[in-house]
Structure 1
Amino acid sequence: MEPSMPAPEMKSAGPEVSAAFEEFMSAFEAFKDANDQRLGALERRGGDVVADDKVARINAALDGQKALIDELVLKARRPALGGGGDLVTDLAAREHKAAFESYVRTGEAAGLKRLEAKALSAGVGADGGYTVPTETEREIGRRLAALSPIRAIADVRVISAGTYKKPFMTSGPAVGWVAETGARAQTASPVLDEIAFPAMELYAMPAATQTLLDDSAVNIDEWLAIEVEAAFAAQEGAAFITGDGTGKPKGFLAYDTVAESAWTWGKLGFIATGAADDFPAASPSDPLVDLVYAVKAGYRQNGSFLMSRRTQGAVRKLKDESGQYLWAPPTAPGAPPSLMGFPVHEAEEMPGIAANSLSIAFGDFRRGYLVVDRAGVRVLRDPYSAKPYVLFYTTKRVGGGVQDFDAIKLLKFAA
């Protein structure tokens, strides 16, 4: 199996993260011992309610400890907000930042109007507003990548137009072998088609008191990024997985699916478990092996699993023929756990295990799914609608969809 992906770069983990990680590893060892006892009881007398309950409680504790580690690691990621370019660019960025802060704190928009007119800013929405500084937009993007599992593993493109169009070849030119002096038949031309990814509008509306805005110690850039990150991440996460493509990105589970044996371009292939709402009783790990090897080698080397927390809890109990657990804990704080040597990413928007559910996805999501970001996050200050609070109507435009239907495969819990 290919090795799991390395842990993402981050600041020093610190004692809190290290302690939480040690507790997580201890809980996993306890989980293995309890699950082994449960399996032994099943073999001897058909089950043990006490052992089942113990495994379920430790499994829940593992989920809680992993969530704590993720939260501590996220807090440890504090990328620097700064320039680093040439002098003119840095001066312009600082001028924009100062004008934007004045607008947010006091409502004074003259500075931003002058700067955006000078830059010939395009793409102003019907509701108006002003673009946030580049470093604030970058900070929002970093935070979304840390919170949104699909954005973290998919291909992300930034565009200036409203739609990203990508050509692909449905059939290549005809080729063939020929003798050195043999006649060469004229080859057919390649057939090209096009897929389009329109950017849809996503919004959040955090509120602040005027006292907060008057406090010079408050970092306005960081405050805005923190306020919108959860709202944006929750909406994006659902859309990238199950979105219907109407007014939002199209999630990969919204595309047509077909048994892998009958796969065609434009549909996602699935492997059936052989049981209506569970792994098969005999050799329960076999469908996972089939799923991994349904993906071609070129995609498999960068493959990763995507599933919900509850599905991951069920997968933790599986072993291979030699008695080794297929699921392995993270190798370091901030790193994902692995399954059969491939990283496991958790997304609560993935369906739980049920009859005919597509609960596990595997593949190279960077080649399979495309996230399109329209450049620019806009903010409209509204001090009137919810007095005495000041609302900040914040919008960004995001699109998404499958760009390579052969890169992602699904596991369907069906006979």
Structure 2
Amino acid sequence: MTRHAAIETKAILPPLENKAAEPGPIRSAVDDFTAAFEAFKETNDDRLRQIEGRLGADVVTEEKLARIDAALDAARTRLDRIGLERARPALAEPQGRHDGVAQEHKAAFDLYVRAGESGGLKRLEAKAMSAGSGPDGGYLVPDTLERTVLTRLAALSPIRAISSVQQISGGQYKRAVSTGAPVTGWVTEATARPSTDAPALAQLAFPAAELYAMPAATQTLLDDAVVNVEEWLAAEVETAFAEQEGIAFVTGNGVGRPKGFLASDTVANASWTPGKLGCVGTGTSAAFPGTNPADVLFDLVYALRAPYRQNARFVMNRRTQSTIRKFKDAEGNYLWQPPLSAERAATLMGFPVSEAEAMPDIAAGSLSVAFGDFRRGYLVVDRTGLRVLRDPYSAKPYVLFYTTKRVGGGVQDFDAIKLLKFA
């Protein structure tokens, strides 16, 4: 247990959904998840009573708790999958005054994917003066397909879903940031405006690196007129892109890929300086403290300044979350709570929890828990244009589709994210 009783939470929480109005599978998944957590709490309470009474938990109880914990993770996965299916958009027909061009591009792309006929795409991209197109670099996919892939990635990629996203047309995105205190002051209407120091500015650059996937299809599938090839291609590449992005946005080194927030320089939060992420130590190597283990989570929350805390969330992987589920406050309430619907996240001390498997497991010196306002703290950069190159030769009888997109990322506000260091 911990000596803390309550914690400041977000100012306004969204209204609770009416579970009775949810479809049957969703209501069933939410109920299963809630029941699993109730069983988890009951078993963990038994374990704690055994520890207090016999200076050790019963092996059977420990095994039961581990089984329930695994069932809880499985129920969470099922709930996430249902929520993702509900959030996944279908490919819509283009709307607007450029429908004729969009439909022509869609038809030309369909012919290219099915039969390898690229004449229509060549003509369209030459008309649009598109640079870098052609048989070597591939062809731009229709706008509807590109928007669908990016929308689905926002639901699949955990860090993209909580970060800011900027679309660019060039190779990198640059922005100026202040490295010192704002140059401001108070004056009255008639007084002279005193001169101020020049602002201390630095430039951050976010280059877009190339990410690729190579789904394969049989010619029989492509010949089937009923098959929506755009829908098939979006479904094939979204998971591959999301998995690679999920890793890069957390641990990427910035060389030929985005720079993850854990790859940034770190410093003890008491000595924080711009350009580095502040860390709060657990005081115990490779573990939470043996006494009042949740106290370090409170320290982490309050290491973040109040303006950022209003929209902050925890980020950790499934195994770290499993450890934290056992923590209670001084009144015996569990700090971790299950989600109330498929669209909402589990909460820890009132703050949402994002599960990112790329986050490291608890180990000596690991940065296994992050807390912050990622919308302000991390930036994802998407270069417009998703390209596909059809390859019917390399893996006969299959047709490969070398699909590329350019994406970058990095920390844009080093004061908005804090890390928990197990050391």
Q: CA deviation at 1:123?
A: 4.7
Q: Secondary structure at the match of 1:353?
A: coil
Equivalents in 2 of 1:242, 1:291: separation in Å? 20
Matched residue pairs, number? 410
Change over 3 Å in CA distance of 1:4–1:62 after alignment to 2? farther
Candidates 36, 39, 50, aligned match of 1:27: 36
Candidates 382, 389, 392, aligned match of 1:383: 392
**Counterpart of 1:135?**
144
Change over 3 Å in CA distance of 1:97–1:184 after alignment to 2? closer
1:74 aligns with 2:84: yes
Change over 3 Å in CA distance of 1:125–1:172 after alignment to 2? farther
Equivalents in 2 of 1:123, 1:347: separation in Å? 35
Equivalents in 2 of 1:223, 1:358: separation in Å? 38
* Unaligned runs of at least 5 residues, structure 2: 1-8
Q: Deviations over 1:46-70 (max 9, x none)?
A: 1222211111111111001111111
Residues 381 and 393 in structure 1, CA contact (< 8 A), matched pair in contact too: yes
**Counterpart of 1:269?**
278
Letter paired with 1:37? D
1:207 aligns with 2:225: no
**Counterpart of 1:14?**
23
**Counterpart of 1:338?**
347
TM-score, length of structure 1 as denominator length:
0.94
**Counterpart of 2:316?**
307
Equivalents in 1 of 2:398, 2:183: separation in Å? 66
Equivalents in 1 of 2:134, 2:369: separation in Å? 38
Equivalents in 2 of 1:177, 1:98: separation in Å? 62
1:242-253 aligned within 5 A: 242-253=251-262
Letter paired with 1:55? L
Equivalents in 2 of 1:312, 1:276: separation in Å? 18
Equivalents in 2 of 1:223, 1:184: separation in Å? 63
Q: CA deviation at 1:81?
A: 2.4
Q: Deviations over 1:166-186 (max 9, x none)?
A: 111223565556899998753
Candidates 161, 167, 171, aligned match of 2:170: 161
Output the aligned Cα RMSD: 2.1
Equivalents in 2 of 1:394, 1:176: separation in Å? 53
Letter paired with 1:342? F
Change over 3 Å in CA distance of 1:328–1:171 after alignment to 2? same
Residues 217 and 399 in structure 2, CA contact (< 8 A), matched pair in contact too: yes
Residues 173 and 187 in structure 1, CA contact (< 8 A), matched pair in contact too: no
Residues 209 and 408 in structure 2, CA contact (< 8 A), matched pair in contact too: yes
Q: Secondary structure at the match of 2:179?
A: strand
Q: CA deviation at 1:82?
A: 2.4
Letter paired with 2:170? A
Candidates 209, 219, 232, aligned match of 2:241: 232
Residues 4 and 342 in structure 1, CA contact (< 8 A), matched pair in contact too: no
Equivalents in 2 of 1:266, 1:43: separation in Å? 46
Q: CA deviation at 1:122?
A: 2.9
Q: CA deviation at 1:127?
A: 3.5
Q: Secondary structure at the match of 1:377?
A: strand
Q: CA deviation at 1:334?
A: 2.7
Change over 3 Å in CA distance of 1:174–1:379 after alignment to 2? closer
Q: CA deviation at 1:299?
A: 0.8
* Unaligned runs of at least 5 residues, structure 1: none
1:364 aligns with 2:373: yes
Equivalents in 2 of 1:402, 1:101: separation in Å? 39
Equivalents in 2 of 1:5, 1:412: separation in Å? 31
Equivalents in 2 of 1:252, 1:117: separation in Å? 40
Q: Secondary structure at the match of 2:31?
A: helix
Change over 3 Å in CA distance of 1:129–1:13 after alignment to 2? farther
Equivalents in 2 of 1:292, 1:126: separation in Å? 52
**Counterpart of 1:317?**
326
Letter paired with 2:401? F
**Counterpart of 2:129?**
120
**Counterpart of 2:266?**
257
Residues 345 and 354 in structure 2, CA contact (< 8 A), matched pair in contact too: yes
Q: CA deviation at 1:278?
A: 1.5
Q: Secondary structure at the match of 1:228?
A: helix
Equivalents in 1 of 2:141, 2:183: separation in Å? 51
Candidates 46, 61, 64, aligned match of 1:51: 61
Equivalents in 2 of 1:257, 1:346: separation in Å? 22
Residues 265 and 277 in structure 2, CA contact (< 8 A), matched pair in contact too: yes
Letter paired with 1:149? P
Candidates 71, 92, 105, aligned match of 1:61: 71
Equivalents in 2 of 1:20, 1:297: separation in Å? 35
1:170 aligns with 2:143: no
Q: Secondary structure at the match of 1:161?
A: coil
**Counterpart of 1:395?**
404
Equivalents in 1 of 2:114, 2:295: separation in Å? 59
Residues 88 and 152 in structure 2, CA contact (< 8 A), matched pair in contact too: no
Equivalents in 1 of 2:301, 2:207: separation in Å? 31
**Counterpart of 1:144?**
153
TM-score, length of structure 2 as denominator length:
0.92
